[in-house]
Amino acid sequence: MELSKIIPHIEALIFASDKPLNNDEIAELINNAFAFMEEQITSEQVQIALLGIQEKYSSDFYPFEVKESGGGWQFLSKPAFYKTIVQLNGEKFIKRLSTAAMETLAIIAYQQPVTKGEIEAIRGVNSDYSIQKLLEKELIVITGRSEELPGKPLIYSTSRTFMDYFGINSTADLPKIKEVLAEQAVEPTVVQHSEEPQNESTTTENTATLVINSDGDLVIQEENNNTTE
């Protein structure tokens, strides 16, 4: 069967599915549906077909598009129609995470797999409530226990729902820390302290400046300033 004849079936699968479908899943479903075909389609052919489908729905004529999100392909409404659609499912769209939950989720996203103790060591406060809320919202999952740490604490990672919630296809799509910092106006933090004068006319002042290096890490840059009266 020609690829052009399979495209509508791929669209139908994505439209009808209650979860994102990846290339392998689509290929398997198509091959099962057309078991009589001499040559089965591959994931690579599905990818080519999806590029055509994406181009089709990128037209302004359609209020929705096909996007790779949450670990697979989905039909999603375009951002321009958010205000219209939110009237139907306001509670679903307006629900927001608390600052504490967002902090906890960010730590899990960037440090995963991670234990509760490691999360709390970074945040500096108890995180039981935040973790429980994130589990309830299915944004994180328990992926096992740490065999190396005492008590074998639970290990947490982000879920497919997390990727879908934030419109990414994998954790590799998360912005890098230094990219986030680059978008912000990050000013150096200057900490000054004065030592005892070496003589009556000269004072040595050490200035420590916290700056972000090319790797996105905070480093201390010290300068000696001599002031002569």
Domain boundaries, the chain: 3-85, 96-174, 189-228
Q: Report the distance separating Cα 221 and Cα 209, nearest Å.
A: 5
Tell me: pLDDT of 195 over 80: no
CATH 3.10.180.10 assigned to 3-85: no
Which pLDDT belongs to residue 202? 46
- Better-scored residue on pLDDT, 140 or 173: 140
Which pLDDT belongs to residue 69? 86
- Of the candidates 190, 221, 229, 227, the one whose C-alpha atom is nearest the C-alpha of residue 205 is 227
Q: Do domains 3-85 and 96-174 have the same CATH topology?
A: yes
- CB-based contacts of 59, cutoff 8 Å, min separation 6: none
Contact (Cβ atoms closer than 8 angstroms) between residue 159 and residue 141: yes
pTM here?
Answer: 0.59
Place of tokens 């010290």: 222
* DSSP label at residue 190: E
CATH of 96-174, one of 1.10.10.1100, 1.10.10.10, 1.10.3720.10, 2.30.30.190: 1.10.10.10
Tell me: pLDDT of 203 over 80: no
Which pLDDT belongs to residue 193? 43
Which pLDDT belongs to residue 4? 84
What is the token pair recorded at 156? 């947490």
- Better-scored residue on pLDDT, 227 or 95: 95
Alpha-carbon torsion angle 17, 23, 57, 80, nearest 10: 70
